[in-house]
Homo-oligomer: A and B are copies of this chain.
Amino acid sequence: MNLNQLLKLDDRPIILASGSPRRASLFELMGLQFEVQVSDVDENSEEYLVPEVHVLELSYKKASKVAEVSNDGLIVGADTIVVLDDETLGKPSDRKDAHKILRRLSSRTHAVYTGYTIIEKPSGRSTSEYARTEVTFRELTDIEIEAYIATGSPMDKAGAYGIQDHGALFVTKVEGCFYNVMGFPITSFYQTLTRFLGGAARAAGA
């Protein structure tokens, strides 16, 4: 299935402004043909009090950094965070931190937020949206946490787990978009993109 054809994108490039291999695999799952251009936005330069603002602003920053050097196409930025008790849990700093994060998530429900921004070039039109999903963990044993950390998977992930790898066995329940937890809410994005392209067609008198 070729989503570029279905959406009549013709030869307008889609540029994913993210180095996350999980986001790239989700773009492939959607059937999108795209390129990757990683933006060098510092994710830790600011403190945000509101998760929605956090992910929307960072997704916009990432997209606009890449849009600055793009002449044509649709540039997509995204940012994902994990929130527990109003505290944002980022990527673990080391194995000990990963253990601490997973211990905190054990037997609890946390929220995953992903914000994304689409910027159209050369027009400069843009749209930003976010998705929120609740994830419930079962009680984890120290042996399970250590065995998971030993796989190396937690280290590059917000919240120190991947729901698409062995971390899946920690989760008893998801409420909302599953793929949001992987780093990109594909159905929300598809709907937003369809509306965004429709708006462009109307703006062009089509």
Contacts and interface: CB of A to CB of B under 8 A. Distances in A.
A197 interface: no
A4 to B, nearest CB: 12
A41 interface: no
Interface stretch (A72-80, A88-96, A144-152): A144-152
Interface in A108-149: 138, 143-144, 147-148
Contacts of A201: none
B138 A168 contact: no
A172 B188 contact: yes
A13 interface: no
A187 B169 CA distance: 5
Given A165-B29, A168-B29, A168-B179, A6 B147 contact: yes
Interface of A: 1, 6, 29-31, 138, 143-144, 147-148, 150-151, 163, 165-166, 168-179, 186-188, 190-191
